[in-house]
Chains A and B, each alone.
Chain A
Amino acid sequence: MSSPIHCSKPHCCKCKIGPSMLASDLSDLANEAKCVLAAGCDELHLDVMDGHFVPNITWGSPVIKSLRKNIGEDAFFDCHMMVAKPSQWVKDIGLAGGNRYCFHLEAALSSADSTVPDLCSLIRSCGMQVGVALKPGTSVEAVAPFIALVDMVLVMTVEPGFGGQSFMPNMMPKVVSLRDSYPKLDIQVDGGLSPKTIDVAAKAGANIIVAGSAVFKVKDKAREVIEGLRGSVEKYGNGIGEEGEEEKEKA
Chain B
Amino acid sequence: MKLLLVSFGLTLISVECFKPTTFAAPRHSRSCCSGCPICCPTTLAAVYGEPRPVQIIPSVLPADFGKLGADCKALEDAGCDRIQFDVMDGNFVPNLTFGPDTIRWCRQYTTLPFETQLMVSEKCTDAMLPQFTEVTKGPNGEPGVVIVHVEACTHLHRALSSIRAAGGSPSVALNPHTPPEMIENVLDLVDHVLVMTVNPGFGGQAYIPTMTDKIRKIRKWIVDRNLDVDIEVDGGIKATKETIGACAEAGANCFIAGSGLFAYDDMAQGVKELTALAKEGQGLPANA
A positions within 8 Å CB-CB of B: 22, 25-31, 33, 48-52, 55-63, 65-67, 69-71, 83-85, 88-89
Q: Contact partner of A59 among B61, B70, B96, B124, CB < 8 A?
A: B96
B98 touches A (CB below 8 Å): yes
- Indicate if the CB atoms of B100 and A57 lie closer than 8 Å: yes
Q: Contact partner of A57 among B65, B99, B108, CB < 8 A?
A: B99
Q: Contact partner of A50 among B64, B89, B102, CB < 8 A?
A: B89
18 residue pairs of the A-B complex, CB under 8 angstroms, read A25-B105, A26-B68, A26-B101, A26-B102, A27-B70, A28-B70, A50-B96, A51-B89, A52-B89, A55-B128, A57-B100, A57-B120, A59-B102, A61-B96, A63-B98, A66-B64, A66-B65, A83-B90
Knowing A51-B99, A62-B61, say if A70 contacts B66 (CB, 8 Å).
yes
- Indicate if the CB atoms of B87 and A27 lie closer than 8 Å: no
- Indicate if the CB atoms of A28 and B123 lie closer than 8 Å: no
- Indicate if the CB atoms of A49 and B67 lie closer than 8 Å: no
Q: Number of contact residues on B: which range applies?
A: 20 to 34
* Complex Cα spacing A29 to B69, Å: 9
- Indicate if the CB atoms of B66 and A67 lie closer than 8 Å: yes
Determine the chain B residues whose CB is within 8 A of the CB of A49 once the complex forms. Answer: 99
- Indicate if the CB atoms of B72 and A50 lie closer than 8 Å: no
Interface string of B84-103 (1 = CB under 8 A from A): 00011111000111111110
Determine the chain B residues whose CB is within 8 A of the CB of A63 once the complex forms. Answer: 65, 97-98, 102
* Complex Cα spacing A57 to B108, Å: 20
* Complex Cα spacing A60 to B61, Å: 12
The distance from the CB of B101 to the nearest CB of chain A, in whole angstroms, is 6
Residue on B nearest A22 in the bound complex, by CB:
B101
- Indicate if the CB atoms of B108 and A70 lie closer than 8 Å: no
Determine the chain B residues whose CB is within 8 A of the CB of A60 once the complex forms. Answer: 88, 90, 95-98
- Indicate if the CB atoms of B97 and A51 lie closer than 8 Å: no
Residue on A nearest B62 in the bound complex, by CB:
A62
- Indicate if the CB atoms of B64 and A56 lie closer than 8 Å: no
The distance from the CB of B91 to the nearest CB of chain A, in whole angstroms, is 6
Determine the chain A residues whose CB is within 8 A of the CB of B88 once the complex forms. Answer: 60
The distance from the CB of B125 to the nearest CB of chain A, in whole angstroms, is 9
A-facing residues in B102-133 (Cβ within 8 Å) = 102, 104-106, 108-109, 120-121, 123-124, 127-128
Knowing A51-B99, A52-B91, say if A57 contacts B128 (CB, 8 Å).
yes
* Complex Cα spacing A59 to B64, Å: 13
The distance from the CB of B64 to the nearest CB of chain A, in whole angstroms, is 5
- Indicate if the CB atoms of B91 and A84 lie closer than 8 Å: yes
- Indicate if the CB atoms of A52 and B124 lie closer than 8 Å: yes
Interface string of B121-158 (1 = CB under 8 A from A): 10110011000000000000000000000000000000
The distance from the CB of B66 to the nearest CB of chain A, in whole angstroms, is 3
* Complex Cα spacing A228 to B124, Å: 39
Determine the chain B residues whose CB is within 8 A of the CB of A83 once the complex forms. Answer: 90, 96
The distance from the CB of A90 to the nearest CB of chain B, in whole angstroms, is 13
The distance from the CB of A83 to the nearest CB of chain B, in whole angstroms, is 7
Determine the chain A residues whose CB is within 8 A of the CB of B67 once the complex forms. Answer: 27-31, 70
- Indicate if the CB atoms of A69 and B66 lie closer than 8 Å: yes
- Indicate if the CB atoms of A62 and B66 lie closer than 8 Å: no
The distance from the CB of B144 to the nearest CB of chain A, in whole angstroms, is 16
The distance from the CB of A2 to the nearest CB of chain B, in whole angstroms, is 34
Knowing A60-B95, A84-B91, say if A27 contacts B109 (CB, 8 Å).
yes
* Complex Cα spacing A31 to B66, Å: 8
Residue on B nearest A70 in the bound complex, by CB:
B66
The distance from the CB of B111 to the nearest CB of chain A, in whole angstroms, is 15
